[in-house]
Chains A and B, each alone.
Chain A
Amino acid sequence: MTDARQPALPKLHYLNADYGIKSWLLTTDHKRIAILYLLGVTFFFFVGGLFAVLVRVELLTPAGDFVQAETYNKLFTMHGVFMVFFFLIPTIPAVLGNFLVPLMIGARDLAFPRINLLSWYIYMAGGAFTILAMAAGGVDTGWTFYTPYSSTYANTHVMLTGIGVFITGFSSILTGLNFIVTIHKMRAPGLTWFRLPLFIWAHYATSLIMILGTPVVAITVLLLALERAFRIGIFDPALGGDPVLFQHLFWFYSHPAVYIMILPGMGVVNELITCFSRKKIFGYHFIAFSSVAIALLGFLVWAHHMFVAGLSVYASLVFSVLSFLVAIPSAIKVFNWTATLYKGSVSYQAPMLYAMGFIGLFTLGGLTGLFLATLAVDIHVHDTYFVVAHFHYIMVGGMVMAYMGGLHYWWPKMTGRMYPDTWARFAALVIFIGFNLTFFPQFVLGYLGMPRRYHAYPEEFQVLNVMSTAGASILGVGYLIPFFYLMYSLRYGAIAGPNPWGAKGLEWETPSPPPTENFPVTPMVTEEPYEYGAPGAAPRGHVRPQEAPGD
């Protein structure tokens, strides 16, 4: 199917269908809303990243000499708040999910396009409140807002930040609601549940968590705000309140929230692994069911964040066992991805590099989660850098890598252009190296006893901290590089054509960029997913991305 002629951009597509700021701010096209979200999340990623830079600069030296302790508390809090609520939770669902869910199921749009737009406005409003809180002096409670410090004693902008987080939660809820209804009700003819791309299964499972969990953190933050405003004592020990109740209510959402962050990333990886090993996914049903299992089981483990909060050993035991169980579906996925790669026809374009990085780093991060789930070990490493390293391996080594992989993979679909792959592979490598240099030393630091959220530390930890900061600089550069070549590609990138990767999936059967209505005629699905044919066979329909002149 190689076209001898240079492919051209389609004449009319969703980007040029209408012009002007109003056509963007009042759009109901899921693809445009995805781009709006892309702008938002990128902005907040850099804000959160800026705070990370400041944290790591402070940690270059053992003494607390860059900023004061109170300021440092604000730095890591704002880093956490912006990264968790405004980047990690929304990004893949709101950018890639919004863009791709209707395309992948052959629909014209999501079930509720106006609610989709509303969710973006809510996201930006929540972000605005949080930026306001930051500008007004920030918050120093940690992104976890533990009481009674946050409810009674903190004199920083807890209310404003809380309002920002509360508002943004509704964005998440509306996105999840939209996805569930869309996936249930708007699949193309012939697209049964087990013919769906696993990206869809992952987003379905994620949406379940968004619906069931987010409201609890909403009410928790609201109760916290009421307590601060009116001193009503729900978490105040002086009035009989229990600060640990806050932790229960907070973590009931915030643990499943980490599955909101990682499941979409796993969904992306399924698509990348199959395409770049030209092979059907191994164990489709297992991966599909494991996504839902993670979503459901993930609600039963929250108190593993509270092992040292005063729970009895018996309660802790229950949560420890459940935490071990929730690792199983994740492990199943890793085995299946590996089996998919085995004897596949593997190529190493940038998206695949990110996918492989994900598998390795997520596995490491996930295994260290088991250490933390073990009561006897957790007593020692709780609140140390071991925990920090664990979740950064999963969040940055996992989710951000998956996002980068997905962004690169679907960039030609979204923009009609290819980015220069050499630069992309280089950036992936820089990110991988920078990431490991940043966070592996933190496992060691934590195990050696360095506490988290401290701006000063004993002398003997300096070498590892310097390594970590050096790694962070490299990582920062690594994240900046794609920003430049992706922007460059918008103007000068090679025209991609409908299916530059020769991939399977409905989204590749429409032009790049797609027309506003996605498909001129609703597709009929007769194929099983990922029908890449026998491994080693010549890839059908694979068009080598043409290099732009002068590249």
Chain B
Amino acid sequence: MNAHAEHAGHHVVPVSTYLIIFAALIAGTLLTVGAAYYDIDFQVLGYTVPLNTTVALLIAGTKAALVVLFFMHVKYSSRLIWVFAAAGFLWLIILFTLTLADYQSRAW
């Protein structure tokens, strides 16, 4: 165990963690492919809400989060890094949401 690498901010992630995350990512891939073949619908109040896209995005989002937190070491990084990483994705959401708001509301 190399003690030199263990100073502040130099957390060495054990290989076993990487392997577990890897397995989760593979599982997620298989899951998302499998789920794509089924009609995933949510019945509420007589309406059928199609959820395939939501499910696919949730799985992809989880996989991305695992990569960001563990492979990209954000879980072991300073809050500054965490804030900037989150900000990037937040800004993407802003771009989507407000643009799609126009398209959803065009016909109103």
Contact = CB atoms under 8 A, between A and B. Distances in A.
Q: Are any A and B Cβ atoms less than 8 Å apart in their complex?
A: yes
Interface of A: 184, 212, 216, 244-245, 248-249, 252, 299-300, 302-303, 310-315, 318
B39 interface: no
Interface string B62-82: 000000000000000000100
Contacts of B105: 311-312, 314-315
Contacts, number: 36
A300 B106 contact: no
B98 A300 contact: yes
B1 to A, nearest CB: 29
B101 A300 contact: no
B24 to A, nearest CB: 30
B94 A312 contact: no
Nearest to B108: A312
Contacts of B107: 312
Interface of B: 80, 87-88, 91, 94-95, 98-99, 101-102, 105-108
Report whether over half of chain A's contact residues are helix, strand or loop; otherwise say mixed: helix
Nearest 8 Cβ contacts at the A-B interface: A312-B105, A312-B108, A315-B105, A248-B99, A315-B102, A212-B91, A314-B105, A311-B102
Interface centre among A216, A245, A315, A318 (most CB of B within 10 A): A315
Contacts of A248: 99, 102
B56 to A, nearest CB: 23
Given A184-B80, A212-B91, A299-B91, A310 B98 contact: no
Contacts of B80: 184
A313 to B, nearest CB: 8
Contacts of A249: 99
Contacts of B101: 315, 318
A63 B34 CA distance: 68
A250 to B, nearest CB: 12
18 contacts: A216-B95, A244-B102, A248-B99, A252-B95, A252-B99, A299-B91, A299-B94, A302-B98, A303-B98, A310-B106, A311-B102, A311-B105, A311-B106, A312-B102, A312-B105, A312-B107, A312-B108, A315-B106
A315 B104 CA distance: 9
A312 B106 contact: yes
Given A184-B80, A248-B102, A314 B108 contact: yes
A300 B108 contact: no
Given A212-B88, A318-B101, 15 more contacts: A212-B87, A212-B91, A244-B102, A248-B99, A252-B95, A252-B99, A300-B94, A300-B98, A311-B102, A312-B102, A312-B107, A312-B108, A313-B108, A314-B105, A315-B101
Nearest to B90: A212
Q: Which one of A249, A252, A310 has the highest number of Cβ atoms from chain B below 10 Å of its Cβ?
A: A252
Contacts of B95: 216, 252
B48 to A, nearest CB: 26
Nearest to B99: A248
B40 to A, nearest CB: 27
A310 B95 CA distance: 19
Contacts of A244: 102
A174 B57 CA distance: 31
A300 B91 CA distance: 10
A22 to B, nearest CB: 37
A311 B103 CA distance: 8
Contacts of B108: 312-314
B87 to A, nearest CB: 8
B102 A303 contact: yes
Contacts of A184: 80
Contacts of A318: 101
Nearest to B80: A184
Contacts of B88: 212
A318 B94 CA distance: 14
A245 B99 CA distance: 8
Contacts of A216: 95
A92 B28 CA distance: 48
A229 B80 CA distance: 42
A313 B102 CA distance: 10
A299 B80 CA distance: 21
Contacts of A302: 98
A296 to B, nearest CB: 10
